[in-house]
Structure 1
Amino acid sequence: MRSMWAGAIAFGLVNVPVKLYAAASSHDLSLHQVHDADGGRIRYQRRCETCGEIVPYEHIHRAYEADGKRVVLTEEELEGLPAEAAHEIQVLQFVPSEQIDPLTLGSAYYLEPDARAAKPYLLLRSTLQQTERTAVVKYALRQRTRLGVLRVRGDLMVLQSLLWADEVREPEFAGRIPEAPVTDAEQAMANLLVAQLSEDFDPTAYVDDYQVQLKELVEARLAAEEGVIAAGPAPMPAVEEGGEVIDLMAALRASLERKRAGSGEARVAENRTGDQTTRDRLAKRKARS
């Protein structure tokens, strides 16, 4: 298991250095799109709808559109937001655990303490257990400020993301369900059925039948060598206008690694270069128009 984030829990004046690990992973088989004629992988291009050119990842910015206007934000501007760069899980308050609506809970992460921070980690864990409280926290992950909760699972503390209040949708049909009186006999029968089906929950008793059958299908095809082709890298087709076909996930991964490896001085230099490049690009657009 590989940690995906390192920071600290800010618990009053106590600072607990921790590492973050994804608490779940998908068991789904990864299926690719291929050409039915030759089995070649289908790749996607980042083509600009204005000039028609295929755009390298380093020249792609993000933008927000509203009322027919588009605000373009550079990576340097986004990285300059202090909240997005903070590696701190800030405890905001402690609330009764039953007040956390399960609907608002999202991705879960295990928290491992630094070897020198075992005592404050255990202190916070035991405090949550004894008080039967959940810690509401704020943290930054993947360039987003997030709300979350700290809770205990076994011997570990778990960080779980929490939806912001304005992200929870209210059903439009609320209050429109017609009245349908339930008789005592119907209620008693339903209660009896629940009693007969009641037992302790065992998550291992349930299996993803679709994925099991999909894996059996793939294994059978491999064994029979039916519809099987070499999975090695195929030559990439030539791209017009001097562009290149880029694997999106590989580009994102390379970009993240480059950002992590950059020093503070390099970032300042990149900011200046990026600003100059932006000014040059705007000047070229103005000249073309």
Structure 2
Amino acid sequence: MPRSIWKGAISFGLISIPIKVYGATEQKDISFRQVHPADGGRIKYKRVCEVCGEEIPYAEIAKGYETPDGRMAVLQKEDFDDLPLRTTKAVDVVQFVDAEEVDPTYINSTYFLEADGPGAKPYVLLRDALVRSGRVAIVKVALRSRETLAMIRAKDDLLLMHTILWPDELRDGEFASPAEDVTVSDAEVTMAGSFIDALSGPFEPEQFHDAYREALETLVEAKLSGQAVASVEEDTGEQADVVDLVAALRASVEAAKRRRAESAGEAAAEPEPAPAKRTTTRRSTTKKTDAGPTDGAAAEEKPAKKTAAKKTAAKKTTARRTPARKAS
């Protein structure tokens, strides 16, 4: 079980809900160390004071704020703990809003909230009230030495808290918007909608995987075992400029439908090879001989044809003689 990173209470009107906060996410990326390529030795960094030249242990390092005129304010852990803020130990609910009103761009990190001690009943009360109202709670909380906005919402049996960036922490993206004179036709938008429909479906995150991380793991294993790494052929052809968007989207729709059919198992099964069927038939009708399976089958086929020809000729001769007897 992970360790809680914060302990306090949700201030829900006159109701106080003791909680513990846990990180809800973790990075699964592959971490690397800086090493010397010649011998694989790790590169280490020392924390050295520029004034006295001594190496300072991490536990003894404080935080300092330097003013524009060069003055330094040194802050210890106790200074942060004693800040005159309610949010250092309390999550203050300041508003309830519809979840759709919170732009996902503002969401920063996600945390699990666990009821602590006698907080189980008010915890369930807030959770069920949020579900019934269809709203989320906007709160203020101080986490990791800074106050932040956050959103509390109900998910299954839990309360989740998503920290929210302050408005001035979002950059202005106006520079990235297309030029105002760029337009698209109704036919292009309709075909783009068809492509969206072809790839629409329920969001199932478990069906996706991190191909880049898997490739790195394969590379590391190959390096450790001294094996060569299989290279992937790159498409060196230059991509042509898209002139007819409708034609390009129509081809994209067809390709998406094919991929969906293959992934869903709707593609037709391949037929069994014909030679296997002929071999089975011959083995079932050919008598066993001491010859090998291929030579014996060939040896038996020729006499069989001759015998069949003789029997056919005999039948024809009998058929010709029989009418002659009846006529006499």
What TM-score results when the alignment is normalised by the length of structure 1? Answer: 0.71
State the distance in 2 between where 1:101 and 1:215 align: 36
Structure-1 separation of matches of 2:143 and 2:152? 15
8 Å CA contact retained: 1:111, 1:159: yes
Whole-angstrom distance in 2 between the partners of 1:187 and 1:139: 44
**Are 2:151 and 2:162, in contact at CA under 8 Å, matched by a contact in 1?**
yes
CA-CA distance at 1:58 after TM superposition: 5.3
| 3-state secondary structure, aligned to 1:40 | coil
Alignment pair present for 1:123 and 2:125: yes
Q: What SS is found at the alignment partner of 2:36?
A: coil
CA separation of 1:116 and 1:225: change in aligned 2, threshold 3 A:
farther
Q: Say yes or no: does 1:72 pair with 2:83.
A: no
Q: 1:200 aligns with which of 187, 190, 202?
A: 202
Aligned equivalents of 1:127, 1:58: Cα separation in 2:
44
Distance 1:84 1:210 in 2: 44
Q: Tell me the CA shift for residue 96 of structure 1.
A: 1.6
8 Å contact from structure 1 (residues 148, 160) kept in 2: yes
Consecutive unaligned residues of structure 1, counting only runs of 5 or more, are: 227-289
Greater shift in the superposed pair: 123-132 or 78-87: 78-87
Cα distance in 2, alignment partners of residues 184 and 172 from structure 1: 25
Q: How many residues align?
A: 226
Instruction: Report the Cα distance in structure 2 between the residues aligned to 1:192 and 1:92, rounded to whole angstroms.
Output: 43
Higher RCO structure (Cα 8 Å, ≥6 apart)? 1
* Structure 2 segments unaligned to the other structure (5+ residues): 229-328
Asked if 2 retains the 8 angstrom alpha-carbon contact of 1:63 and 1:70, the reply is no
Give runs of aligned pairs for residues 106-255 of structure 1, distance below 5 A. 106-173=108-175, 177-224=179-226
Kindly report structure 1 stretches of 4+ aligned residues shifted beyond 4 Å. Answer: 223-226
Instruction: Provide closer, same or farther for how the CA distance between residues 72 and 59 of structure 1 changes in structure 2, counting only shifts above 3 A.
Output: farther
Displacement of 1:92 in angstroms is 1.1
Query: What does residue 29 of structure 2 align with?
Result: 28
- With the length of structure 2 as denominator, give the TM-score of the two structures: 0.63
| Counterpart contact for 1:134–1:149, Cα < 8 Å | yes
Q: Percent identity?
A: 43
How many angstroms apart in 2 are the aligned matches of 1:98 and 1:85? Answer: 26
Measured after TM superposition, the shift of residue 24 of structure 1 is 0.8
Structure-2 residue corresponding to 1:100: 102
Q: Is the 8 A contact 2:150 2:162 kept in 1?
A: yes
Q: Distance in 1 between matches of 2:121 and 2:141?
A: 22
- Paired position in structure 1 for 2:267: none
CA distance in 1 between partners of 2:132 and 2:46 (Å): 54
Residues 107 and 160, structure 1, Cα contact 8 Å, conserved in 2: yes
Q: How far apart are residue 112 of structure 1 and its match? A: 1.3
Structure with the greater alpha carbon radius of gyration: 2
Aligned to 2:48: 47
Q: CA deviation at 1:175?
A: 6.9
From the superposition, tell whether residues 139 and 13 of structure 1 become closer, same or farther in structure 2 (CA, over 3 Å).
same
Q: What is the DSSP-based 3-state SS (H/G/I as helix, E as strand, rest coil) of the residue aligned with 1:69? A: coil
The more displaced of 49-58 and 121-130 is 49-58
Q: Distance in 1 between matches of 2:179 and 2:52?
A: 52
Output one character per residue of 1:183-202: Cα deviation in whole Å (capped at 9) or x when no partner. Answer: 11111111111111111111
Give 2:285's aligned residue. none
Q: Distance in 1 between matches of 2:116 and 2:68?
A: 49
For the residues of structure 1 that align with 2:121 and 2:112, how far apart are their CA atoms? 17
Task: Answer whether contact 1:4 1:22 (CA < 8 A) is retained.
Answer: yes
Distance in 1, matches of 2:176 and 2:170, equals 14
Tell me what 1:81 maps to.
Answer: 83
Structure 2 contact 87–147 (Cα < 8 Å) conserved: no
Cα offset for 1:106?
0.9
Paired AA for residue 88 in structure 1: A
1:281 paired residue number:
none
Listed one character per residue, the Cα deviations across residues 87-129 of structure 1 (whole Å, up to 9, x for unaligned) are 2211111112111111000110111112532211111001111
CA distance in 1, matches of 2:59, 2:33: 26
Shift of 1:224: 4.8
Task: Return the alpha-carbon distance in structure 1 between the equivalents of residues 73 and 59 of structure 2.
Answer: 14
The structure-2 alpha-carbon separation of the partners of 1:115 and 1:49, relative to structure 1 and needing over 3 Å to count, comes to closer
* Partner SS state of residue 189, structure 2: helix
Deviation (angstroms), 1:157: 0.5
- Could you tell me whether the CA contact under 8 Å between 2:87 and 2:140 is conserved in 1? no
Cα 1:58/1:30, change in 2 over 3 Å: closer
Change (3 A) 1:172 1:187: closer
Distance 1:46 1:203 in 2: 42
Q: Counterpart of 1:18 in structure 2: which amino acid?
A: I
